[in-house]
Structure 1
Amino acid sequence: MKKYFILTLLAFSFIAQAQVTANRFFYELTYKPKKDSAKVEKVMMSLDITPEKSIFRDYTAIAQDSLLQIKVEAMQKAGVFKDLSKDYTMPKFSFKIDKAYPSMEMQFSEEVVNGRSTLYMAYKETPKFDWKIEAETMKIGEYKTQKATTKFGGRTWTAWFSKDIPFQDGPYKFSGLPGLIVKIEDADQNYSWELKGNRPVKDFVEYTYFQKLQSGGMPKTIDMDRAKFEDKIIEYKNDPFASVRGQMSKEVLAYKMPGSDKTVGEMVKEQEKMLKDLYSAVDNPIEMQAITTKKKK
């Protein structure tokens, strides 16, 4: 049975209050981290579609969550600290995009360290895409798709959407076509998302076990206007552990974790370096006017 037929049934099952609470679409992102380099990287991202909204994010953390939960719970039970950093791959992208249905109001949020927990800084907007739908069609995988173009974020984008998948949504902020976007890329091929598969997700939860653990419960989201958000993100990425250092005394930083030779201070420095390396790895933003990490003067 064709995938689009299955997806159509799933779409109607949402209306019928079926047990399936989300449909997860997997998009492979091929991108150029550095604008002055031809080197490309790839990462899997997910678009989770629920009756109320969609959620788009890096799939890396979700893919590791169950295994990480087992290891953390075993460590807690044993009462001995174990450095799990080598068992955990940091997501390349820390943003999350929620699109509310049917308004398509979007909330763009970034996960940040705040003291001893994490939270999301966010802004809201409702992007308006001036799509130009063309007659050209193309087969991508199992999907018959149609071409559409638009300008967004200082780039020109070409999308291929399928009317056989009845969701007017797509990767990143893109939406508004009469079918799910199967592939979209900018004219210079800096960013290219392509649908690679999908599956239903029962008992869907928005936040991972690890996110809840870091936040001491449900992560907090702080909404602000975009200008303030961009200023705050620049400040945070220049010094991601400023809030952590401010809450830890010299005695705490010198404390050794149970069962480990590492001090809290050493762990903080390692995590700080990891985050700084992550943020400095990309200087070619999806939206050309978007914020990139600035070097301290």
Structure 2
Amino acid sequence: MKKIFTVFAFTAFFALNAQETANRFFYELTFKPKKDSVKLDKVMTILDITKDKSIYRDYTSVAQDSIAKIYVEEMKKSGVYKDPTGVFTTPKFSFKVEKSYPEMKETFVDQIINGFSPVSIGYLEEPNFNWNISLEKEKIGDYNTQKATIDFGGRKWTAWFSSDIPLQDGPYKFKGLPGLIVKVVDSENNYSWVLKGNKKVENFEELSYLEKLVPGSGGKLTTVSREKFESTFSSFKKDPFSSIRPMLSQEMLSQKVPGTDITIGDMVKKQEKSYREFFNANNNPIEIQQDTRKNKE
């Protein structure tokens, strides 16, 4: 990972490489998955910035892109299903946050299953970040930063931004400060992001290999109100395969997956268990209170 570009270098970077290069900022996220536990977890997240938008997400899937490609190609050649358990690391978070440039309107995106295909669903939002900027300054790693505070999503947040990096952006939904956010943490230490570095990504592609491979994954986005999104996603978490189950006959469930001794029914049960474990692993959301101002249907 390289050090942050100077203002001149960053401006030149976008002017010369706007169509095919992104600047990837790496944020280490330390968080408390369970609200009644003291245990903390860590994951690397990324903020990819192009001239048109920024995309915040868990880095896990992106980091495994080359492994996924080899794995899938081997299955294609052999015609035999290979259980990915133990091969890939499951991301801690499945959502993305996109911010359009220069308006900085935000889109929160996640996925549900409809029938046999994943579907991207999200909501548009323009959260009102009225930061209180302090005169207090601090050196964080290589970055000269300044303090700002805000109440957002039911939590009290302290951010440290660097005016040396002329981007009004940051991890997750955070934005609107006169410089890139280097660190942001809530008052009870449930969530803390710290910028660890950045690098250029040549020939940047927004979708990962698996997103491009699986129909509907990362494709056309269905946009709803935040209330509708929350209710739809809540139902999905309770029963991830509710839309698939009526389509599976007993005959189909008893059939073997090609090249294996595993039945389709067993595979469905295993995948459903994986979904439930994923959702049950975190009951301490970043936002514990919705800001529904300016949400759009």
* Smaller-chain TM-score bracket: over 0.9
Distance between the aligned counterparts of 2:68 and 2:4, measured in 1?
A: 34
Equivalent residue, structure 1, for 2:223: 223
Residue 109 of structure 1 corresponds to which residue in structure 2? 109
Moved over 6 A (4+): none
Matched, 1:234 2:234: yes
Counterpart CA distance in 2 for 1:183 and 1:189 is 12
- Amino acid of the structure 2 residue aligned with 1:85: T
Letter in 1 for 2:201: V
Identical aligned pairs, as a percentage? Answer: 54
Whether 1:83 aligns to 2:83 is yes
Q: CA deviation at 1:25?
A: 0.6
Q: TM-score, normalised by structure 1?
A: 0.93
Distance change (3 Å), C-alpha of 1:273 and 1:116 = same
The number of residues matched between the two structures is 289
Contact 2:65 2:208 in 1 (8 A): yes
2:284 alignment partner in structure 1: 284
Equivalent position of 2:74 in the other structure: 74
1:248 Cα deviation from its structure 2 partner: 2.2
CA distance in 2, matches of 1:134, 1:214: 47
Equivalent position of 2:158 in the other structure: 158
Secondary structure of residue in 2 paired with 1:3: coil
- The AA in structure 2 aligned to 1:151 is D
Structure 2 CA distance for partners of 1:61 and 1:8, relative to 1, 3 Å: farther
Asked if 1:92 corresponds to 2:92, the answer is: yes
Give the conservation status (yes or no) of the 8 Å contact 1:131–1:148.
yes
Q: Match of 1:239, as an amino acid? A: D
RMSD: 1.6
> How far apart are 1:5 and its partner, in Å?
3.7
- Does 2:135 match 1:135? yes
Residue type at the aligned position of 1:105: K
CA displacement, residues 262-283 of structure 1 (integer Å, 9 cap, x when unaligned): 1111111111111111111111
Letter in 1 for 2:235: E
Whether the 8 Å CA contact 1:5–1:164 is kept in 2: the answer is: no
Cα 1:20/1:221, change in 2 over 3 Å:
closer
Q: Judging changes above 3 Å, is the alpha-carbon distance between structure 1 residues 267 and 237 closer, same or farther for their aligned structure 2 residues? A: same
